[in-house]
Chains A and B, each alone.
Chain A
C-alpha cells in the first residue's frame, strides 16, 4: 500500500553525476563522491518512501527522482546563544563610558 498520497509536498533525491562522470578538476575528497540533487514539489501519484517518483515543482515543472522526505522541514534555526558573543555589548558600553547597564 503506498503511504504517501498524490499531491503531498515532498523532497526527491537524484544523483546527477557519479564520481566517474564528474569534472576532472576536483579536490580528492569531492572526486570520491557523486554530485547529488535534492528538489521539492508535489507528488503527481501515490507512492512509498524510496520509490522512483515524479513531482511537480512550485513552477509546474515535472521532475523524477527517489522519494526521500515527506513535508520536509526547514531545520535551520537561530542556534544556541554564544558565550563568546554574549558580553560584547556590555564591554563596549563600558568603553564608551556608560555603566554597561
Chain B
C-alpha cells in the first residue's frame, strides 16, 4: 500500500500522525469547547520536579550557576535615580551540555522516547532546541533528525541557523535543511510517518515540565545568595515555553510575588514566512515574530493543546530592539567577562532597563544565557546584515527599523524597554479561541478557563466576550 504524500493528504492526517508520535491522547483533557484541563494534562503527562531533576541529572542537565552581574548593576545604578538600580543576576544556562536551557526541555522528551521504546526522535526547529535534542539523543543512544528552516531561495543561509545545524551534525544527528516556508511542518509530518520516530515537540507537557527546574533553581539560588525571593525574573519569549516553564517552577518553589516579565526583540514589520525578509533579521528567535502569535494563539503549535501558554503567567511583556541587544551582548563580554548570546541577551537588555526602575535592595534575574561563537556572535550577524543591505550605525535605538536599519545605542542610558499591551494580547487570544472553536456562546467552564489562561478574572472574560458580541 502506498500512502498519498501530497501536501493536502499529509496535512489531513496530522492528528493521527501526531497522536502516534507523541504518545498523548489529548482528547481526555478536552471539554468539547474552548476549555481544557491544563493542570490535569501537566500533572498526568508531565513529571514532578523531583522526577525531572533525576532525569536531568542522568544527562548532566541543569544545576547551572547563578552569577551576580556586579559591574552591570553598578552601571545601571549610575544611570538610575538615587536609591534605584536592582541587583542583576544571570543564570548561566550556557553551561548545559549543548549550550542552552533547551537541554532541560529536550531531556524529558528524549527520556520519554527512550522509555517508550522509540528508535529515534525528530524535532522541527531552527534553534538551539535542535542541538539540545541531538545531544540528549546521543546520550541516550537514539537516532535524531532535526528539520530546520535555513535558506532563502538564493540558497543563502542565516549564519546562526547554519551554526545550529553544524552543532546538530556534531552530535550525530541528520539535519534536513529547508528553504523558507511554513510547509516545514509538512516535511516534518512525512518524516514522522516514514520513520515512526518520537516527535520531540517543543510544546508537549514533557518539554515544559523540563523547564520548571530552571525556575525552581532560580528561586533556590536567589534565596541562598540574597535571603529573599527574586522580585522580577525576565524571560526571553518566543514560543512561550521559556516563560511558562520558568514561571511554573518559580511558583512550585513558592515565589508568589515574583514578577514574571517576558522580553522579545522587536521585529515588527518583518514577515516570518517571507523569502525576502527571512535573511533581513539578525535574530532567529526570542523575537516578536514568534512571541506575539504564540501568546495570542498558542494552539498553533504542532500538538493539539500547547503546554506553553505564556499569557497564563505573564505580568508584563516588553520589547527591545536588535541594536540594544547587540549593545548589551558587548557589555556582558566587556564588563562581566561572559561571551554569551544572542537570544538569551534579549532578557538581559530588558533587565538592564527595568533594574533602573527598581529599588537597590531588589533583585532582578535574567534567567538564561546561551552559548555563542561562529554564526551567533554580533560580529557574524552584523556582517551578514550589512551584506543583506541592512544599515548598521550608532544612534538612538528608537530609530531602529527591522530589516532596514540596526541602531547600536551611543550610551547605555538609551537602553529602554517598550511595553507590549498585555490587555490587547489577552483580548486577541480570547477572540482567537472563539473563532477557532466556532462557539456562539461561552460556557461557565470556558469562562473559568479563559480567566486562568489570561491571568485575569471571570468578569474580565465576560466583558471581553460582550465586546466581541458573544453571549455568555
CB-CB nearest in chain A for B379: A79
Query: Shortest beta-carbon distance, B45 to chain A, in Å?
Result: 27
Number of A-B contacts (CB under 8 A): 156
> For residue B145, which residues in chain A have a CB less than 8 angstroms away from its CB?
59, 61
Q: Mark B134-150, 1 if CB is under 8 A from A, else 0.
A: 00000000011100001
Please measure, in the bound complex, the distance between the C-alpha atom of A16 and the C-alpha atom of B71, giving whole angstroms.
Answer: 51
CB-CB nearest in chain A for B326: A85
CB-CB nearest in chain B for A57: B174
Please measure, in the bound complex, the distance between the C-alpha atom of A36 and the C-alpha atom of B149, giving whole angstroms.
Answer: 10
Please determine whether B327 and A26 come into contact, CB atoms closer than 8 angstroms: no
> Interface stretch among B207-215, B288-296, B370-378, B439-447?
B370-378
Contact partner of A76 (CB less than 8 A), chosen from B7, B162, B183, B271, is B162
Chain A CB within 8 A of B384 CB:
yes
Contact partner of A85 (CB less than 8 A), chosen from B187, B273, B378, is B378
Please determine whether B274 and A29 come into contact, CB atoms closer than 8 angstroms: yes
Contact partner of B151 (CB less than 8 A), chosen from A36, A75, A82, A93, is A36
Query: Shortest beta-carbon distance, A20 to chain B, in Å?
Result: 11
Chain B CB within 8 A of A5 CB:
no
Please determine whether B175 and A21 come into contact, CB atoms closer than 8 angstroms: no
Query: Shortest beta-carbon distance, A61 to chain B, in Å?
Result: 6
Query: Shortest beta-carbon distance, A11 to chain B, in Å?
Result: 9
Please determine whether A80 and B383 come into contact, CB atoms closer than 8 angstroms: yes
Complex interface residues of chain A between 45 and 92 (CB less than 8 A to chain B): 57-61, 74-82, 84-85, 88-89, 91-92
Please determine whether B178 and A82 come into contact, CB atoms closer than 8 angstroms: no
Please determine whether A77 and B274 come into contact, CB atoms closer than 8 angstroms: no
Knowing A78-B379, A96-B74, the reply to whether A22 touches B374 (Cβ < 8 A) is no
Knowing A29-B274, A79-B383, A79-B384, the reply to whether A95 touches B162 (Cβ < 8 A) is no
Please determine whether B75 and A92 come into contact, CB atoms closer than 8 angstroms: yes
Complex interface residues of chain A between 1 and 60 (CB less than 8 A to chain B): 16-17, 21-23, 25-27, 29-30, 33-41, 57-60
Contact partner of B177 (CB less than 8 A), chosen from A17, A38, A59, is A38
Please determine whether A23 and B153 come into contact, CB atoms closer than 8 angstroms: no
Please determine whether A27 and B271 come into contact, CB atoms closer than 8 angstroms: yes
> For residue A80, which residues in chain B have a CB less than 8 angstroms away from its CB?
379, 383
> For residue A93, which residues in chain B have a CB less than 8 angstroms away from its CB?
334-335
Chain A CB within 8 A of B420 CB:
no
Chain A CB within 8 A of B304 CB:
no
Please determine whether A61 and B180 come into contact, CB atoms closer than 8 angstroms: no
Please determine whether A89 and B394 come into contact, CB atoms closer than 8 angstroms: no
Please determine whether B375 and A76 come into contact, CB atoms closer than 8 angstroms: yes
Query: Shortest beta-carbon distance, A54 to chain B, in Å?
Result: 14
> For residue A60, which residues in chain B have a CB less than 8 angstroms away from its CB?
143
Chain A CB within 8 A of B173 CB:
yes
> For residue A85, which residues in chain B have a CB less than 8 angstroms away from its CB?
326-327, 330, 378-379, 382, 408
Please determine whether A76 and B151 come into contact, CB atoms closer than 8 angstroms: no
Please determine whether B408 and A84 come into contact, CB atoms closer than 8 angstroms: yes
Chain A CB within 8 A of B381 CB:
yes
Please measure, in the bound complex, the distance between the C-alpha atom of A61 and the C-alpha atom of B197, giving whole angstroms.
Answer: 13
CB-CB nearest in chain A for B408: A84
Please determine whether B382 and A79 come into contact, CB atoms closer than 8 angstroms: yes
> For residue B151, which residues in chain A have a CB less than 8 angstroms away from its CB?
36, 38
> For residue B373, which residues in chain A have a CB less than 8 angstroms away from its CB?
78
Please determine whether B176 and A39 come into contact, CB atoms closer than 8 angstroms: yes
> For residue B333, which residues in chain A have a CB less than 8 angstroms away from its CB?
89
Query: Shortest beta-carbon distance, B356 to chain A, in Å?
Result: 14
Known: A27-B273, A85-B330. 20 other contacts (CB 8 A): A17-B186, A23-B181, A23-B182, A26-B181, A38-B150, A38-B178, A58-B172, A59-B120, A76-B166, A76-B374, A77-B375, A78-B374, A78-B377, A79-B382, A82-B383, A84-B392, A84-B408, A85-B327, A92-B331, A96-B71
Chain A residues in contact with chain B, CB under 8 A? 16-17, 21-23, 25-27, 29-30, 33-41, 57-61, 74-82, 84-85, 88-89, 91-93, 95-96
